Amino acid sequence: MNHTYQKPLTGQSVGIVFGSFSPLHQGHLDLIFRAKKENDGGCIVIVCGYEGDKGEPLIPLGKRYRYTRKLFADDDLVAVYPINDTELGIAEYPNGWDGWMGEFFRIWAKAVTNPDSTHRRWYVGEPDYFDGLTHRFGEEAILVDRGENRISGTLIRNNPLRYWDRIALPFRAAYSTNVLICGTASEGKTTMTADLGKYFGTVYSHEWARDYMDEQSVSDWEFDSMDFLAFLRGQYALNREKIESPANRGVFFADTDAMVTKMYAKYYAKDDSCGLTDIEYNAIAAAADEITRKSKWDRIYLLCPHGKFVDDHQRYMAHSGDNERRELFDLLCEIIREAGLWEKTVVLDGGYYNNFKHIVNDVKELMAND
């Protein structure tokens, strides 16, 4: 497994903390911060695991390594390295001590400025790890009593929202309950999304394309492939920013995503009065499908077309009739099914407040089951 360059640590002694970090939480931080402060050279953090371990499929080892680096990116006294047991052919614990330590010693040689003269001090929370390090390898190890901070990866994985504040910030995105509000135009999605975010006191996104249209002074019927690709990238980046925000309290509401952009692109490509070709649509569809695969939606609320289509002087009014809106809606249903997300989709056909109450009650139940 490749590792990102870490500046070698200096000093007479360096602490070491290792774990699968599935996810990294306050209990791990107790060890890491103690190791950093009790050793003048700082601390080495080893993110380790194997294929199919307890971190997967939600946070594979590569992501755990990336999130841990991100957490300590501004700290020159913490260096982060990975050990992939499967890739290196290391047997699962407790049979892989020799292979695992062999890889650690290779990391040690580049992780500190003076590997031969720098003292190692391990910090562990498990008696078995303490025994293995001290008795088998003669290493200095400190067994830290974690009784004062009773938190574990198992507790978090079983109920992430209950222990949300105990999860290290970069890891929270993986456990966020993400809710998508979608449909055709003029269904109140923007207001619904904002109201839900305010109700639950958490983050929510808006339709990024509207910002783009205002900035570029472009209207629906003028869209070309570059506009649609910008919508895809912009909305995905905005949603991701909100999910990763410290203000995320465990649930995120999104107004629109790549599947909605794909719906419009496919419909516009069929309209000769619009400037989108079939070839351009295929490129947009491929990009939209890739973004959809990378997104994580726990629940999708699909608002049925009804009510009056609002002319905001940007929307293409040729697509505002009841028949056109129904065609767009049916097309969105098809796209959601093709993405394998229909089982997570709830179709709502009530008035605004009834739809709002339905979503609120659903999300409360969804969060209670996490």
- The reported pLDDT for the residue numbered 322 is 73
Domain that holds residue 79: 13-165
**C-alpha–C-alpha distance, residues 254 and 57, integer Å:** 23
Give the C-alpha distances (Å, rounded to integers) separating 104 from 53, 84, 98, 359.
20, 11, 10, 50
Is the pLDDT at 104 greater than 80? The verdict is yes
- The reported pLDDT for the residue numbered 317 is 41
Tokens coding 343: 């089982």
Residue found by looking up tokens 């069929």 in the block: 270
18 falls within a domain? yes
pLDDT in tens, 33-55: 999 999 999 999 999 999 999 99
Is the pLDDT at 368 greater than 60? The verdict is yes
Question: 216 and 241: one domain?
Answer: yes
Tokens coding 58: 């939600």
Is the pLDDT at 10 greater than 80? The verdict is yes
Degrees, nearest 5: CA angle 79-83-86: 165
Given 165, 188, 209, the domain boundary residue is 165
- The reported pLDDT for the residue numbered 135 is 94
Question: 103 and 251: one domain?
Answer: no
Is the pLDDT at 313 greater than 60? The verdict is no
Is the pLDDT at 314 greater than 70? The verdict is no
CB of 236 within 8 A of CB of 269? no
pLDDT in tens, 165-178: 999 999 999 999 99
**C-alpha–C-alpha distance, residues 71 and 171, integer Å:** 9
- The reported pLDDT for the residue numbered 205 is 97
Tokens coding 202: 């958490």
CB within 8 Å of 203: residues ≥ 6 apart: 197, 242, 243, 245, 247, 248, 249, 252, 253
Question: 304 and 328: one domain?
Answer: yes
Residue 188 DSSP label: S
* Helices 258-269 and 322-338, packing angle to 10 deg: 130
Question: 349 and 236: one domain?
Answer: yes
Least confident of 120-129, 267-276, 318-327, 335-344: 318-327
Given 165, 200, 234, the domain boundary residue is 165
1 falls within a domain? no
5 falls within a domain? no
Q: Which helix (H) or strand (E) holds 142?
A: strand 141-143
Least confident of 62-76, 85-99, 332-346: 85-99
Give the C-alpha distances (Å, rounded to integers) separating 22 from 19, 57, 253.
8, 11, 25
Q: How far apart are the first and last CA of the chain?
A: 32
Give the C-alpha distances (Å, rounded to integers) separating 5 from 65, 70, 192.
13, 13, 45
Question: 343 and 211: one domain?
Answer: yes
- The reported pLDDT for the residue numbered 274 is 75
3 falls within a domain? no
Question: 225 and 107: one domain?
Answer: no
User: Hey, is 46 helix, strand or coil?
Assistant: strand
- The reported pLDDT for the residue numbered 220 is 77
Question: 151 and 184: one domain?
Answer: no
Given 144, 165, 186, the domain boundary residue is 165
CATH number at residue 155: 3.40.50.620
- 234 C-beta neighbours (distance < 10 Å), count: 16
pLDDT band (50, 70, 90) for residue 346: very high
CATH number at residue 311: 3.40.50.300
Residue 56 DSSP label: T
User: Hey, is 253 helix, strand or coil?
Assistant: strand
| pLDDT (average), residues 210-234 | 90
Question: 220 and 338: one domain?
Answer: yes
- Entry field: residues in the chain: 370
**C-alpha–C-alpha distance, residues 123 and 32, integer Å:** 8
170 falls within a domain? no
Residue 202 DSSP label: S
- The reported pLDDT for the residue numbered 308 is 55
CB of 205 within 8 A of CB of 255? yes
Question: 186 and 114: one domain?
Answer: no
- The reported pLDDT for the residue numbered 275 is 72
CB within 8 Å of 117: residues ≥ 6 apart: 12
Is the pLDDT at 108 greater than 90? The verdict is yes
353 falls within a domain? yes
| pLDDT (average), residues 333-342 | 98
CB of 187 within 8 A of CB of 310? no
Q: How many domains does the chain have?
A: 2
- The reported pLDDT for the residue numbered 370 is 64
Mean of per-residue pLDDT scores for the chain: 92
| Beta strand extents in 29-136 (DSSP E only) | 43-49, 78-84, 119-124
CB of 287 within 8 A of CB of 229? yes
6 falls within a domain? no
7 falls within a domain? no
pLDDT in tens, 121-162: 999 999 999 999 999 999 999 999 877 778 999 999 999 999
Question: 89 and 183: one domain?
Answer: no
Degrees, nearest 5: CA angle 337-339-343: 50
Question: 117 and 255: one domain?
Answer: no
Question: 278 and 325: one domain?
Answer: yes
| pLDDT (average), residues 294-309 | 86
CB within 8 Å of 174: residues ≥ 6 apart: 23, 58, 59, 63
